[in-house]
Amino acid sequence: MAYAALVSLTNTINQTLNSNLYSISPEEKQQITPLLEYVTPFQDFLDKFPDKFNSLEGRVRDLANAAEDIVEYLVLEKVYPTPDEDHQSEKHELAQLQNVIKEIDLIDKEVKEIEDTSRYKSIQRGAHSSSSTSTAPLIHKDAMVGLEEYVLDLKDRICGEPSKKLYVIPICGMGGIGKTTLARSVYDDQLIMEKFEIRVWVTISQDYSAERILSNILECLKEFNKDEKKKIDNDVSVHQILMGRRYLVVMDDMWSTEAWDIVRGVLPDNGNGSRVMLTTRLYGVASYPDPSCKLYELGLLDADQSWNLLKQKVFVDEDCPRELESIGKEIAGRCKGLPLAIVVIAGLLSTVRQDRASWKDIAENVKLGDTVEHGQIGDILSLSYAHLPQYLRPCFLYMGSFPEDHEIQAQKLIKLWVAEGFLRYPIDSESFEKVGEECLEDLIKRNLVLITKRKRNGGVKSCRLHDLMRDFCIRKAHESKFFLSKFTFDVAYRYFEEINFTERIKNQRRVSINSSYLSYLSRCDCSTIHSIKCSTYRVVNLECLKRVRLLRVFDAEVVDVECSPFLAQLYELFHLRYLDIRFSHGIPTTLSKLQNLQTLIIREQTHGFGKASDIWLSWGMPQLRHVYFYGTIHFHDPNEVSCSLESLQTLSYVSHWSCRERVLKMIPNLKKLKIDCSGRVHSGAPACLDDMGHLHRLENLEIYAGHCVRSRPKYYRFTFPSMLKKLTLKALEFPWNDIVVVGSLPNLQVLKLKGCTCDGGTWETREGAFPELEVLLVEDSRFEHWITESIHFPRLKRLLLYSCSFLNEIPNDIGEIPPLELIEIKGYAKKSLVESAELIREEQEDMGNNTLQVVCIPKVTSSGSFYSDEYFEDEGYDDQDL
């Protein structure tokens, strides 16, 4: 993966040359700087001529990786010099760097020759270049399983739409999902054939030209030429032939909006109900002809549909033997709902004996990865990958390093992309995270990534890869030495005597492995490894870290790290950028040595042995962007030499004693903050939360008082920043009148009050409060009366009342809020509270408001109250993004 290596090298050089953390001499800078003169032109060449770079791909990748390793080792020697050999080591690294630059210079000359040839070479693409007519694939009726409703709807839309104007109908979905099958079924339908005088099918594909498209359309039109006196040839325009006739044009497999521009210019709008259907994997292409047009987005087949399709493809008009049904359904399930995968597997089943033993053998031994590599699925996926811009390829392949069927948290994925160095430096005011979000959305629009959950604001919360996509990513990653997967380690473990494990790991950049294989790394040459991702739970030690001095990413979310003498080595990994681990004891109190760390996630151990120790964050960690810690985070008072942590965006949980003006001014770009107020309060003084107004970019704030009632502060002074959009108050004690401060926040959209003890039994809101609030969650809060009016919550969409056992009723005015969509009552509740919610629903229905949903899930106790035995979470509005 040359492009990823070049981008990472650029980032490393820029950071090395521009940072004050390293004692790089002017002479060393002079020898490192020339690398940039080569890297940028190589990246530009890859963007412009990706197909011309294939012969140089491996050489450029290896040289870029080698150059980056040399620069990083040079920096590492400045921080942790090799005893008695520090100067010799630096000279050796610089000598190696000069050798690498000489090799890169030779490649640069080859690149320029290719570039000059490509720039001035004239490539003719005449209509004669394609002698065959562009015809649609033959589709059997049994391939329509799962698409029947789409066919009926499409036919109704094509024939029943009253509009006489030229109308475009886009069909969108991932490769192999059935777009062409659906379009062809409609195209060949008898009703459609009778409706349209002319029907044209043209396959666009990636390798298209205006001449070829128009020539193929003319070839297709010849069969509809009823006027033998008027010969159709290339001298007659498509526009002339279609003028005045009702036509249906299908543009199959479109990859570019330019292809639509070519065809649109020759399609007359005859005002007679002519239609155009197009199929594409790209949302941007689908919506381009008419952004307001409804997209037909195809989804995966369910279990029954998958089995029916497999059964029909294998047995055609015959019945499936009963003894094969269970194993057949298992095989169909392996295809994960992708029609093309089912068709390929059905082809394999058709070649073997129809008995259980033969089918079981296929179920156990035939992997979808084999069909990806050798069948038409591989061709389809390769086509999608080849169409990806260079900067998206490493982001896509990297997703294959996650476990099979794993739901990938979008924010975690983006943090890893940043740490790995895949993302180019942002332009203007964009952050790395913003660039990452755009990359993920682009992959989703290309139907390479599936969304599993969205956030309240429409952003992507989690996603996943179809198994076929993941198999493809792993194969591609292995071919390009992008990462080494768990599968390779499994093979090495199984045949350890026959396979040289050391050779497999040599020169690898990234490994994705079972945690049980960590110990193997301690036996191998791991000097080039920059990333270790672990899967499967296990208690491990960190002996392997002594051999991975250039490690950037250590993602061990599912691993419990035991106390060991190697734990200290974790904090000597100077180049470490991403650390995600689980352990509760033996954590160093300061992390100042990790000066390049961007993301720090320290989780509670799976077996949960108490609360983690406190840690102190250092002002000497300028790259820090996100910190999540199971214990409590502290900052020392900054001094004159302290560096501002301007990149820091997420901080959870920090001690409220650290939330002082001097500290907060040093973290000016914080967007998400969780504060732990459970620390001991001296002399009854209020918790120090009066300086929060200095965080001008803070959007998400949580304040937590802890489980121990004795240690909770009794009073608080609140000063909130005006940009705040989401506020969570947990286990706090304060008068209800203090909520007035919260209600005055001009941008607040989500408010959660969880387990708060508010003095006074009545909550009375005021006019002008909560102007932008959309979600209100009140959980286990002790108020009896609620006095409010609809104008006090003008934008409220969701009201969630969980275990509000003292509240008598919901004010009737709540039902008058126009945007309100949901009232939800769960947990302990009085009968009168539930009845008030039902009354609001009935009154709104009587007034014609059928959009308001009221959900009540309680049970009656002997005391007449309601309760629920479920543990409820307001899913969809939680804070988890790590």
Alpha-carbon distance of 161 to 293, in angstroms, equals: 13
Can you spell out the DSSP letters for 580-617?
A: EEE--SS--SB-TT-TT--EEEEEPPTT--SPPPPEEE
pLDDT, one tens digit per residue, over 15-61 is: 888 877 677 788 888 888 888 888 878 888 887 777 666 778 888 88
pLDDT grade, residue 797 (50/70/90)?
very high
Structure tokens that stand for 485 in this block: 């997967």
Q: How many C-alpha atoms does 631 have within 13 Å on its Cβ side?
A: 22
Mean pLDDT of the chain: 80
Between the CA of residue 580 and those of 552, 600, 603, 604, 882, what are the distances in Å?
12, 6, 8, 11, 9
Residue 680: per-residue pLDDT: 54
pLDDT at 842 over 60: yes
Structure tokens that stand for 113 in this block: 């020759």
Report, as an integer, the average pLDDT of 246-264.
Answer: 91
Q: How far is CA 678 from the centre of its chain?
A: 35
Element (H, E) at 73: helix 57-79
Contact 11, 417 (CB under 8 A): no
pLDDT at 674 over 70: yes
Element (H, E) at 356: helix 356-365
Burial of 184 (0-12, 13-18, 19+ CB in 10 A): buried
Q: How many C-alpha atoms does 197 have within 13 Å on its Cβ side?
A: 13
pLDDT, one tens digit per residue, over 455-464 is: 877 889 999 8
Other C-beta atoms lying within 10 Å of the C-beta of residue 500: 10
Q: What is the pTM of this model?
A: 0.80
Residue 368: per-residue pLDDT: 57
Residue 102: per-residue pLDDT: 86
Structure tokens that stand for 804 in this block: 């509000």
Contact 398, 420 (CB under 8 A): yes
Helix (H, G, I), strand (E, B) or coil at 750: strand
Question: Which DSSP category does 208 fall into?
Answer: -
